[in-house]
Amino acid sequence: MTTSIKTTTYQNFINNRWIESVSGKTIASINPATKEIIGYVQNSTIEELNAAVDAAYVAKKAWRKLGQSARGQLLFKTANILEENLEEIAETMTREMGKTLPEAKGETARGIAILRYYAGEGMRKDGDVIPSSDKDALMFTKRTPLGVVGVITPWNFPVAIPIWKIAPALVYGNTIVFKPASEAAVTAAKVVECFEKAGFPEGVLNFVTGSGSVIGQSLIDHPKLNAITFTGSESVGHSVAKSASARGIKYQLEMGGKNPVIVTKDANIDQAVEAVISGGFRSSGQKCTASSRVVVESTVYEEFKQKLIEATEKITVGNGLKDGIWMGPCASESQFNTFKEYIEKGKQEGATLVCGGEVLTGGEYDNGFFVTPAIFDNVTIEMAIAQDEIFGPVIALIKADDLEEAIELANNTKYGLSASIFTTNISSILEFIDEIEAGLVRINAESAGVELQAPFGGMKASSSGSREQGEAAKEFFTAIKTVFIKGS
């Protein structure tokens, strides 16, 4: 049962007011299942961006002085409002980027949980007492906000990722300028409405939509910006790092992965198959932690491959608003074209397409970007499908003689975000934990997903090195003051 959602034009939210862009232009958000327009957002100019940063700059002193506990209470209110609007926001997400409705509801519920977690930070410590060599002195550390923080987010998790950046930034006393991906900006606007209804003061949270080259770059380059947190492609991330480091501001990057799953000869094969299917094909493989390479020991390779093919062939593909649909469409025409390009590239490189990889046509499929999840066999590590982040439902199977070779193959990538292993051998588990080059290590579980209270981030080209979520978020969104007090 779905709600009725009308096509709306969303304005920018600057200094607690919804404002149209002076450009007079808007960007249409397209439903990837039907190609219908579900809403419009502003194609903003630098003028709106400057107004948003100025509003955040003016608001930062009063917001810092409000106190951590009071800031946390506003996050609690936002969580309650988001919960009241869960159904509508989840359906908007499904309409806007294709994720199935159950997945969209799960993501929205996670956003609510993240808000409540960071609301609780309002009552937790913001420093430590340190012994001084002077017995008559008091020395302690105190966390202080950075100031104005820019938040740039992708389209694949339009509720969870913005919230896991915005919530800690706010509770620790920063003000925000939020620029979402245009492909999911309608969903983002609905999330911002929840913050508005919670009663945040003027200028604390500002929302500006538009192109990355204009709004995103101008945000990073703005002289009043103190930090930038970004999740997106590696190429754009490098540009963000270059601009931010040139200005000497703090930056945080999460840029994707080529995540391996190792299946050993002693693994529970059925458990491994189920996890690889979920990790590789949920959300049409459009997760930075998606399972995209599966390295299998040779003695169980054929058994695993056949069971994986059988399970994949049972997947139902269609409009994610319908009951019984397991996988929705690619999120956009661009992602759809990328999928097709890599299917052809895999064939040209000599890999064998053993399942899926088809464009679905006819009936309801004619109006959307629907494909069948693909499995490649006979993949070698140097192939593009084994090295590039495809960001689509494509799994590359790679054979290894033993665990040592499997780990070597798994590490043979510039990325290091997430990795998992399926085994019943404790020695193999310990070796994997020590040797795998990834920030998120999972044992007998899919590579995708991390709990909100745990640090999240990658190694190598996947990350700038900082961590998001949990208590680790404090390290990025605050600076430490060391205070020494002695009586006169």
Give the catalytic positions in this structure. 254
The residue type of 150 is G
**Of 458, 154, 460, 188, residue with least CA distance to 287:** 154
CA distance 182 to 29: 7
- Phi first, then psi: what are they for 45, rounded to 5°? -110, 175
Angle at 302 between CA 310 and CA 275, to 5 degrees: 55
CB atoms within 10 A of CB 348: 10
CA distance 343 to 352: 10
Contacts (Cβ under 8 Å, ≥6 apart) of 43: 21, 23, 25, 26, 27, 209, 210, 211
In degrees to the nearest 10, what's the CA dihedral of 180, 186, 189, 194?
Answer: -130
First to last CA, the chain: 71
The residue type of 330 is C
